[in-house]
A = this chain, B = another copy of it.
Amino acid sequence: MTTAQVDPAVHPAAHPAWLPEAAFAPLGSRRIAVEIAEREWSRLEAEVAATVRAEVEAAVATHGGAVVTPDDAPDLVLAVIAHNDRDAEAFTVARTNGVTRVTAATPRGLLYGLFHVVRLGEAAFEHGDLDVERHAPATSLRMLDHWDNIVVHPAMGQVERGYSGGSIFYDDGVVREDLSRVAQYARLLAASGINRVAINNVNVGPLETRLIDDLLPDVVRIADVFRPYGITTHVSVSWASPVRLRGLPTSDPFSPEVRQWWAGAADRVWAAIPDFGGFVIKADSEGQPGPFAYGRTHADGANMLAAAVAPHGGLIHWRAFVYNHEQDWRDRKTDRAKAAFQHFAPYDGTFADNVIVQIKHGPLDFQVREATSPAIAAMPNTRVAAEFQVTTEYLGHQKHAVYLGRQWSELLSFPYWGEGSATMADIAVGRGPGGHAGGFAAVSNVGDDVFWTGHPFSQANLYAWGRLTWDPTADPIAILDEWTGLTFPGAPAEVRSTIHTILDESWETYEMYTAPLGVCFMVYPHTHYGPSPDGYEYTPWGTYHFADRDGVGVDRTVATGTGYTAQYPEPWSSVYESVETCPDELVLFFHHVPYTHVLHSGKTVIQHVYDTHFDGLERVRSSIAAWEAAAGEFPADLAARVTDRFAEQLRSTTDWRDIINTYFLRKSGIPDAQGRTIY
């Protein structure tokens, strides 16, 4: 696999993540036939075909197998054949007479099939006959967004919310000469199921604005590295591009000059990269420019860009993360949670066909626990993408061991109209009421860190994200097992069991020791790491708990609060409106209640706070004990990193426990029923 080789001078020891050589041993020791029908393949398909061949050749060269013809007693046949699967990325796998057979309609499908066989390992060759099993992705829109900047920001660093070093794409100020690590990344993504990558931050600086202009040749180079792995390149653009790049006096979407400028820009981009994906845009949000400045709507803005890219088959990912970040904490009726729905739902049905409205999974901002976004269910006539965050901005900065597969799975399966109804995932993949598909997008968590993700176990989040975009109904713990099997091939059983002990319920553990019962944002402003109970309580970014000596929580009811519950369809609107029916884990998200309010669990709110914070730390201690007992079974460099991270997690978790408990004890004056130490 020469294209994925990493230049050791530049990246001395990039960790192989879930594609170590040993993971290819079961496949690489076999006799393998690759058949790819001669057709007029697109450049992408042709290059992916070459990738499949190269992967197979590298594997057999390493592990003693052979590339053979179909007639020469193969153990495995990988074949692109003419068939009528309308999904170009689908593949089938079957086993007959001791031969495992993977077929697909395209090289892309075959590449996914190849990685499927890698995942199966020996199991792919052990069984007798197996019926044909078809695998197809839930959506063709399986995207990662990079928040990488070309320049290193003096305060934010190079990767916004990046906890894994610098960018793999950019040196400070320029696109890297050596993109070999991007190639390795592309290969990892293909093996997890991702097929689209946006290569720069949605907060687009002056230099990054030029990616669709004089820096376009650099984008071409990056796209060339992604293409052989079936990955389409997207770019985040600035709404102000016509002003910044050409000195136009306006970015008004109704200005003929502006429309013309964007059409010309799209022409140039697609001329350079004919299979380019499209533009991602954050407009009128947190200081980014947008159509509001000209009295236009987000539909006006999105449709103007959509018209420019439509002739090329391009997409516009238009982010719905629009809210007033200069609100007044004194005004308890203003509710940031209501913003996306208010800004976008009224325009349902007015967006062009190639616009995808990209909506965060919750109404706030990737909290450990918040309600699901009602906006996602409010736009049946719009292509909606559900947006997630693989990087752990609010979940421990890849210093805490937190596996997010279970959180995502729970969110993706949220039935918006009640038990058995269409889920968040259904809506995103086009099986919602309106049948429009926007797919999935998430913020990547990788950087030029040797382990890619800071905490080596955070690799599992990136892997799980890819797998869940392919199949949102997959069991996240089974995905974790897959990741473990690939990342630590041939490891003893303790490795797998230790990973389970540490990660299976780590999301719930993190919730326990941080913000309770749907209270959000009890973090340090700006960094979003570590406990600061009042950190956001009096800021223009929104207010999240209103804790006083009597009670805590945000009243979002129609009856007495901000009225946010009305944004949900039934039954949730009623379920959330009533403190009697609201689930415990969201009670403070929807209601302001006394500390003595009794939860469905039978505990009071205040005792729940104390118990979960004491218990959360104990769970972290158990994880550490499990780690210490098994660390010797892991590779030494990886083990050293994990040990370091656990030291920080223990320190930080102790902070969380004591600061949150002390904060609420000082406010409520109610002692812990178990008499434990609260400072």
Contacts and interface: CB of A to CB of B under 8 A. Distances in A.
B667 A548 contact: yes
Contacts of A679: 329-330, 332
Contacts of A665: 548
A666 B538 contact: no
Interface stretch (A394-402, A431-439, A526-534): A526-534
Given A329-B679, A538-B531, A679-B329, A549 B154 contact: no
Contact of A667 (B155, B533, B666): B666
Give the most central of A332, A549, A659, A667: most B CB within 10 Å. Answer: A549
Interface in A535-569: 538, 546-550
Contact of A549 (B332, B659, B662, B667): B667
A666 B549 contact: yes
Contacts of A663: 534, 538
A668 interface: yes
A669 interface: yes
A449 interface: no
A275 interface: no
A370 interface: no
Contacts of A669: 548-550
A55 interface: no
A662 B332 CA distance: 13
Given A154-B154, A155-B155, A533-B534, A548 B330 contact: no
A653 to B, nearest CB: 14
Interface in A626-669: 655, 658-659, 662-663, 665-669
Contacts of A534: 532-534, 663
A375 to B, nearest CB: 29
A532 B536 CA distance: 10
Contact of A666 (B155, B531, B548, B658): B548
Contacts of A546: 666
Most B C-beta atoms less than 10 A away, residue of A332, A550, A662 = A662
Contacts of A155: 154-155
Nearest to A669: B549
Contacts of A532: 534, 538
Contacts of A154: 154-155
A146 to B, nearest CB: 22
A679 B327 CA distance: 14
A87 to B, nearest CB: 48
Contacts of A533: 534
A549 B548 CA distance: 9
A14 to B, nearest CB: 27
Contacts of A659: 538
A548 B547 CA distance: 12
Nearest to A531: B538
A663 B538 CA distance: 9
A605 to B, nearest CB: 16
Nearest to A548: B666
Nearest to A538: B659
Contacts of A547: 666
Nearest to A655: B538
A472 B382 CA distance: 73
A610 to B, nearest CB: 16
A362 B514 CA distance: 37
Contacts of A666: 546-549, 667
Nearest to A679: B330
Given A549-B666, A549-B669, A330 B538 contact: no
A675 to B, nearest CB: 17
Nearest to A678: B330
Which residue among A329, A538, A679 has the maximum number of chain B CB atoms within 10 Å of its CB?
A: A538
B668 A549 contact: yes
A154 B156 CA distance: 10
Contacts of A655: 538
A665 B668 CA distance: 13
A173 to B, nearest CB: 15
Nearest to A654: B330
Nearest to A332: B679
A538 B662 contact: yes
A145 B659 CA distance: 37
A402 B655 CA distance: 37
A25 B157 CA distance: 54
A626 B548 CA distance: 38
A166 to B, nearest CB: 14
A440 to B, nearest CB: 35
A329 B655 CA distance: 10
Given A534-B534, A538-B658, A550-B669, 6 more contacts: A329-B679, A330-B662, A534-B663, A538-B663, A547-B666, A549-B668
Interface of A: 154-155, 329-330, 332, 531-534, 538, 546-550, 655, 658-659, 662-663, 665-669, 679
> 6 closest Cβ contacts across the A-B interface?
A154-B154, A548-B666, A330-B679, A549-B549, A538-B659, A549-B669
10 contacts: A154-B155, A531-B538, A533-B534, A534-B663, A538-B663, A546-B666, A547-B666, A549-B666, A666-B667, A667-B667
